[in-house]
């Protein structure tokens, strides 16, 4: 039996505001008990940020919490209902293997969902076992923490425990649970669920709840639901621009995997692009390249149109006018996105001010990179370090011509060379979680039970803009190209 009260003070202060929403939005669901939990990853930095007690969380009590065997005081565990377009097809989903323990309220009054991913079957599990395997949970831990260090909004990873159970995927795998921390788990798909299976009142309750949790409505705002739409679009424009600027490919941008908060969520088959190519896809299930790198902004816009549709009944009494309002906002996304991306690209090239030719300068560099299959991260890293050797592209005529234009462009601004380099260092990560390094860390952990490779990797990834000596080896490309690298939802 799960012990419902934990008297030790872990530092968690739980609210359950989601469980106070109308009943259609969730089902009460305790995590399943697991036989022999053991802790394999614990995020000290996040523990501090949340004001939690690390020693207690490392103890048997803490491990019991992360395993779902012990319930935190004040927890009302639930599985959230949601729907979503998966590869374009609409379907009912919901937390099939995740349980929300509640919302931790920090001393500053900020609220964070604390969720166990892989906590067993729920009413939304359909045919699934509700469990998770160690590999994908560690992968999510590594990549989400790397994203956070890169300055990209994301859900966080607090801990991973092994459960002591085997899970059946392709063969037997080690069972695990990830404790995910997020500013909320409200998805575009949550609104789609409300719009399809709820009443207009349900959509309104969800929209009001979302506003309260994520967006402060200025007193001058007349139409708060239009404000909600605008803000969600803005946050997605910001998020996707940040993904594009570091070469992050999400892999499954289904509407259920798009968080209203603007955080990156659901690290399934995601990966970082190596050679620059907009058509890059890693996910084994994305056979048509729907979620290819270069498509991500278009897909975001498509998903936001689905979000806007759910708000139609709230935007205006006249449906016709509501549709017009929604269309206008969604059609704004490409500009918002492009502005963020463009200013980010300029920063990557050390450009402070604006000139008419900047767009061409950026485009022609990307074209040359594509032609020579230049590594995305390392190209910008080399430009930052003024280290233009060894890469085929840098010896090409096209690049030399481009470089002359770029150098003279940089001279036409008042900033010094040092200031320019500083801007470039802040804008171009020297390391990213490269696929072969992620695999190496996972292999150590899973096959050898050696977590030292992963821990060292996590440390290096926590300082992506450091350009320190100890990081250099992490920018070395694998001997055999990764371009056939495949990621699996094997989730
Ligand atoms: P994802 O591909 O992780 O975004 O998940 C899509 C849907 O499948 C969500 O509703 C998940 O909760 C559900 N799901 C994924 N894996 C499992 C599993 N092992 N058992 C039950 N449901 C799952
Ligand atoms: Mg998902």
Could you give the residue numbers annotated as active site? 256
Phi first, then psi, for residue 77 (nearest 5°) are -65, 135
- Residue 411 confidence (pLDDT): 97
Token couple for 133: 């395997």
Q: What is the mean pLDDT of residues 333-349?
A: 98
- Among all chains, which residue has been given the structure tokens 């530092």? 11
Ligand 1 atom with the smallest distance to the CA of 132 is: 19
Cα–Cα dist 451/273, whole Å: 25
- Residue 483 confidence (pLDDT): 56
Q: What is the mean pLDDT of residues 242-262?
A: 98
Q: Whose CA is nearest to atom 7 of ligand 1?
A: 93
Residue 322 scores a pLDDT above 70: yes
439-491 pLDDT, tens digit per residue, is: 999 999 999 999 999 999 999 999 999 999 999 999 999 887 655 677 775 44
What is the domain partition of the chain in residue ranges?
Answer: 3-185, 189-341
Q: Is 266 annotated as a binding residue?
A: yes
Q: What is the mean pLDDT of residues 231-243?
A: 99
- Residue 485 confidence (pLDDT): 76
Q: Whose CA is nearest to atom 11 of ligand 1?
A: 96
Nearest 5°: the CA angle 94, 131, 122 is 40
116-149 pLDDT, tens digit per residue, is: 999 999 999 999 999 999 999 999 999 999 999 9
C-alpha 256 – ligand 2 centre gap (Å): 6
CA 442 to mean position of chain CA atoms = 19
Residue 227 scores a pLDDT above 90: yes
C-alpha 445 – ligand 2 centre gap (Å): 25
Q: Whose CA is nearest to atom 12 of ligand 1?
A: 96
Check if 265 has its Cβ closer than 6 Å to any atom of ligand 1: no
Which residues contact residue 425 at a Cβ distance below 8 angstroms, ignoring those fewer than 6 apart? 384, 465, 467
Closest ligand to residue 127's CA: 1
- Residue 13 confidence (pLDDT): 97
Ligand 1 atom with the smallest distance to the CA of 257 is: 4
Closest ligand to residue 188's CA: 2
Which residues contact residue 287 at a Cβ distance below 8 angstroms, ignoring those fewer than 6 apart? none
DSSP-assigned beta bridge partners for residue 182? 113
Q: Is 180 annotated as a binding residue?
A: yes
28-56 pLDDT, tens digit per residue, is: 999 999 999 999 999 999 999 999 999 99
Q: What is the mean pLDDT of residues 20-24?
A: 98
Q: Is 434 annotated as a binding residue?
A: no
158, 180 Cβ separation under 8 angstroms: yes
Residue 9 scores a pLDDT above 80: yes
- Residue 486 confidence (pLDDT): 79
407-435 pLDDT, tens digit per residue, is: 999 999 999 999 999 999 999 999 999 99
Q: Whose CA is nearest to atom 2 of ligand 1?
A: 489
142-200 pLDDT, tens digit per residue, is: 999 999 999 999 999 999 999 999 999 989 999 999 999 999 999 999 999 999 999 99
- Residue 466 confidence (pLDDT): 97
Check if 93 has its Cβ closer than 6 Å to any atom of ligand 1: yes
Residue 1 scores a pLDDT above 60: no
C-alpha 97 – ligand 1 centre gap (Å): 6
64-103 pLDDT, tens digit per residue, is: 999 999 999 999 999 999 999 999 999 999 999 999 999 9
CA distances from residue 60 to 53, 64, 69, 269 in whole angstroms, order as listed: 13, 6, 10, 32
Which residues contact residue 329 at a Cβ distance below 8 angstroms, ignoring those fewer than 6 apart? 226, 229, 230, 233, 308
């Amino acid at each position: 039996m799960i012990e419902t009260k934990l008297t030790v003070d872990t530092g968690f202060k739980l609210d359950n505001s989601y469980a106070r929403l109308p009943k259609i939005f969730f089902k009460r669901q305790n995590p399943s008990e697991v036989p022999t939990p053991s802790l394999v990853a614990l995020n000290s930095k996040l523990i501090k940020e949340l004001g939690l007690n690390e020693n207690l969380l490392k103890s048997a009590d803490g491990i019991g919490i992360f395993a779902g065997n012990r319930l935190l005081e004040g927890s009302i565990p639930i599985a959230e209902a949601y729907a979503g377009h998966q590869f374009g097809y609409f379907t009912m989903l919901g937390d099939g293997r995740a349980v929300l323990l509640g919302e931790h309220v920090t001393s500053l009054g900020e609220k964070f969902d604390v969720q166990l991913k892989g906590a067993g079957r729920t009413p939304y599990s359909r045919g699934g076992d509700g469990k998770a395997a160690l590999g994908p949970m560690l992968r999510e831990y590594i990549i989400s923490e790397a994203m956070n260090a890169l300055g990209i909004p994301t859900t966080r990873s607090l801990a991973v425990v092994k459960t002591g159970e085997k899970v059946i995927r392709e063969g037997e795998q080690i069972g695990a649970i990830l404790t995910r921390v997020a500013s909320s788990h409200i998805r575009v798909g949550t609104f789609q669920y409300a719009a399809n299976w709820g009443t207009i009142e349900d959509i309104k309750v969800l929209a009001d709840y979302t506003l309260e949790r994520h967006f402060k409505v200025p007193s001058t705002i007349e139409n708060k639901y239009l404000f909600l739409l605008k803000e969600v679009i803005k946050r997605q424009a910001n998020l996707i621009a940040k993904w594009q600027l570091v070469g992050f490919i999400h892999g499954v941008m289904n509407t259920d995997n798009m968080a209203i908060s603007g955080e990156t969520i659901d690290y399934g088959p995601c990966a970082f692009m190596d050679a620059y190519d907009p058509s890059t896809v890693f996910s084994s299930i994305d056979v048509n390249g729907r979620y290819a790198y270069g498509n991500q902004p278009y897909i975001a816009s498509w998903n936001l149109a689905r979000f806007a549709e759910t708000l139609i009944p709230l935007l205006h009494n006249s449906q016709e006018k509501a549709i017009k309002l929604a269309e206008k906002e969604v059609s704004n996304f490409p500009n918002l996105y492009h502005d963020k991306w463009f200013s980010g690209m300029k920063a990557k090239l050390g450009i402070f001010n604006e000139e008419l030719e900047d767009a061409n300068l950026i485009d022609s560099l990307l074209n040359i990179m594509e032609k020579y299959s230049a590594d995305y991260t390392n190209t910008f890293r080399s430009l930052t370090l003024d280290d233009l050797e060894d890469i085929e592209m840098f010896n090409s005529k096209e690049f030399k011509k481009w470089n002359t234009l770029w150098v003279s462009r940089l001279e036409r601004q008042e900033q010094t060379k040092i200031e320019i380099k500083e801007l470039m260092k802040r804008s171009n990560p020297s390391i990213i979680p490269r696929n072969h390094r992620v695999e190496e860390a996972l292999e150590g952990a899973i096959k050898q039970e050696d977590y030292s490779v992963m821990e060292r990797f996590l440390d290096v990834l926590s300082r992506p803009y450091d350009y320190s000596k100890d990081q250099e080896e992490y920018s070395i490309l694998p001997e055999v190209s990764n371009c056939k690298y495949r990621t699996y939802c094997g989730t």
